[in-house]
Amino acid sequence: MNKILRYKSHRISHYSALTLALLGISLPLVGCQNGGDSSTSTTGNGAGLKLGTLVPVTGDLSSIGQNMPVAVKLAVDTINACGGVNDNPVTLVQADSQTDPSVGSTAMTQLSEVDKVAGVVGAFASSVSSSAIDVAVRNKVMMISPGSTSPVFTDRAKNGEFNGYWARTAPPDTYQAQALAALAKKQGFNNVSTVVINNDYGVGFEKQFVTAFEKLGGKIPSKASPVRYDSKAATLDSEAKSAFKGKPDAVAAVLYAETGSVLLKSAFEQGLSEGVTVLLTDGVYSEDFVRQVGKTSDGKSIIAGALGTVPGANGEALADFTSLWQEKTGKELTAFVPHSWDAGILMMLAAEAADTNTGEGIKSKMLEVANAPGTEVSDPCEAMKLVKQGEDINYQGASGNVDIDSNGDVIGSYDVWKVNSDGSLEVIDKVSPAN
């Protein structure tokens, strides 16, 4: 079985015509509320297509978010090495959301109205995307999230609020909640309580999970009084007590890393979690999170045995991208990195197909380059070559086939991961959304 943060490779080949420089990125702490710069240009000469990133380099989700802008920069470097977009190099501007909705909104304003980007890869936290998307739409900036999974975005898209300026390369929690419910049932759990962070991500996931688990015959003891915690609360002792009340078979915990670790540590210290399996999600898919929760007196992880789901990566381009990532960064591939890469590649292909470096242009060709009909192609330079020749393409990504629907959604697969006694994480299975 593979350790977490490592994806399987099914075939090995090389991207054509790549002479990339080593990354060596120094990520700024940006998006500040005290008058500081909210973005920093990291590549390109200012001409041609300009893209941005808005992801958590700091804050509650930084343990997962730090590699996202690295992946987008690698995508930009890759395309620039094979000729750029519309005969010019692509410029990338990076912004740090700090996992804070107000900071994210301010940073998106900076990216859209000052830096004049045509598209933004981000945000990660659904709450940040919710605050930033209105700014993006108003300024006609295309926004592709590699990890905002709240079902709220599907509903808003159906209502026509985004006018096509929204998409995501990670599937919505409508599907992940079903996958977690299927996992719980597969484990033989009949009574599962919930505890979630009180924002779009947590509450949206909770509602979908309750519906899916009950449909499978399960019971939710906490349904009448759902436990939702404030990320700014001084302590989370009472929330932990309410979540583990009555010793359910498991607790489905939809958390962010910094605050979620406090809640689970409190449950342990109060003697509430013994014999109760914790079910986790993508928001805490990180060994840093396990370290934050802490260890028992005998050196074992407090949450050893916990199980979780996370959008997996199984795209045709995964093997090539994994090889490139490890060569250029020296790191293992972490969660949502393939989704970040795909978001950046799609933006650039769409701009080339539109023959214009604007958000309107990217929006107009996004579904065309992502979906059938067209030649299936996974190598980004080959894809760009075909687009420049006027051919229709169906880009096959590293995260998946990235078939984006009219609401900006994709359907993905899910990895099942487990917390081992030593705090390491391991992918042990795959699970599909329940029918």
Reported as a pLDDT band with limits 50, 70 and 90, residue 112 is very high
Name which of 105, 152, 109, 96 is nearest 132 in CA terms: 105
Residue 4 has pLDDT above 80, yes or no: no
Residue 340 has pLDDT above 80, yes or no: yes
Give the domain ranges of the chain: 40-171+314-395, 174-312+413-431
- Can you name the CATH fold of 174-312+413-431? Rossmann fold (3.40.50)
Percentage of residues of the chain with pLDDT beyond 90: 84
Q: Which CATH architecture best describes the domain 40-171+314-395? A: 3-Layer(aba) Sandwich (3.40)
Residue 40: its pLDDT value, please? 57
Question: For 314-325, what is each residue's pLDDT tens digit?
Answer: 999 999 999 999
Residue 2: its pLDDT value, please? 35
pTM attached to this predicted model: 0.83
CA 246/CA 221 separation, integer angstroms: 8
| Mean pLDDT along residues 420-425 | 97
Q: Quick check: helix, strand or coil at residue 428?
A: strand
Reported as a pLDDT band with limits 50, 70 and 90, residue 35 is very low
Pairing of strands 227-229, 192-197: parallel
What is the rounded end-to-end Cα distance, in angstroms, of the chain? Answer: 27
275: left (phi over 0), alpha (psi -120 to 50) or beta: left
Residue 237: its pLDDT value, please? 97
Residue 234: its pLDDT value, please? 86
| Mean pLDDT along residues 367-380 | 98
Question: For 167-211, what is each residue's pLDDT tens digit?
Answer: 999 999 888 999 999 999 999 999 999 999 999 899 999 999 999
Question: For 384-422, what is each residue's pLDDT tens digit?
Answer: 999 999 999 999 999 999 999 999 999 877 999 999 999
Residue 232: its pLDDT value, please? 87
